[in-house]
Amino acid sequence: MGTFEELVAEGAAVPLEGWDFSWFEGRATEERPPWGYASLIAARLAVVSAALDLQTGGGEVTASAPVLPPRMAATESWPPNALVASRRLPLVVRAADAGPLPFRSSSFDLVISRHPVVTPWGEIARVLRSGGTYFSQQIGAGTNRELTDFMMGPQPVSPARSVEVARADAEAAGLEVLRLEPVSLRVEFFDVGAVVHFLRKVLWTVPGFTVEGYRDRLLDVHEHIQEHGAFVSTSTRFLVEARKPQRG
């Protein structure tokens, strides 16, 4: 365990490309959702002819599937991530997170996304074929609010990421919600360097975070971890599966 300054500097120096959290091993832990998202999408990718991965990050999750469909496409808005993903997946297209999607209507049997920044429900419904499915693991409302509140003071929890809003938006786009399952998960940070890297990588936790802007609060986090052994927070996730109705 280094000094406060050493740990902060270490967390600030970790590259941000991709969506790989292996750097946190031994420094932070997060419970996994019970459903096993990677296994669920692997099973679905193996049986469709055309699939789209929205906001793929570095393409890590989709590329882990043993079998990809004959037509496998992905979108990513951040150039460094798009470059990483293009090394793993056959077709990665730069596209804004909120759409529009650069694909023809009724192009895909399956659309997937893991932790999308936003969910463009109307565009998803447009590119899905009749009977096609959207399958996604999403970040829920108030995720890691303990860390947000510690750094920023008490903050209101926006309903934008709630399961209620997800259901309403999916149905408004003409999709039938088949599964909507929320879960709360324990998160533990074992050093302040892990907190720094997390806040740099997961930008919505503390919007506008910089080390210099939050140095005093980071010192408080460091002292809290020294006293209690960890900083404990709670992440929220939900699994959503929605289907485009069959024509006729």
Domain interval for residue 119: 4-243
CA 247 to chain centre: 32
- Residue 19 pLDDT class (50, 70, 90 cuts): low
Torsion sign, CA atoms 46, 85, 134, 185: positive
Within-domain flag for 186: yes
Which pLDDT tens digit goes with each residue over 32-61?
A: 999 999 999 999 999 999 999 999 999 999
Within-domain flag for 248: no
Within-domain flag for 73: yes
Q: Residues in the chain, how many?
A: 248
Which pLDDT tens digit goes with each residue over 75-130?
A: 999 999 999 999 999 999 999 999 999 999 999 999 999 999 999 999 999 999 99
Question: Residue 185's closest CA among 233, 230, 149?
Answer: 233
User: What pTM was computed for the model?
Assistant: 0.89
27: CATH? 3.40.50.150
Question: Residue 67's closest CA among 40, 85, 42, 48?
Answer: 42
Which pLDDT tens digit goes with each residue over 129-174?
A: 999 999 999 999 999 999 999 999 999 999 999 999 999 999 999 9
Furthest CA-CA distance within the chain: 66
Count of domains for the chain: 1
Say whether pLDDT at 30 is over 80.
yes
Angle between helices 215-228 and 192-201 (to 10 degrees): 130
Amino acid at site 156: P
Separation of alpha carbons 87 and 3, rounded Å: 37
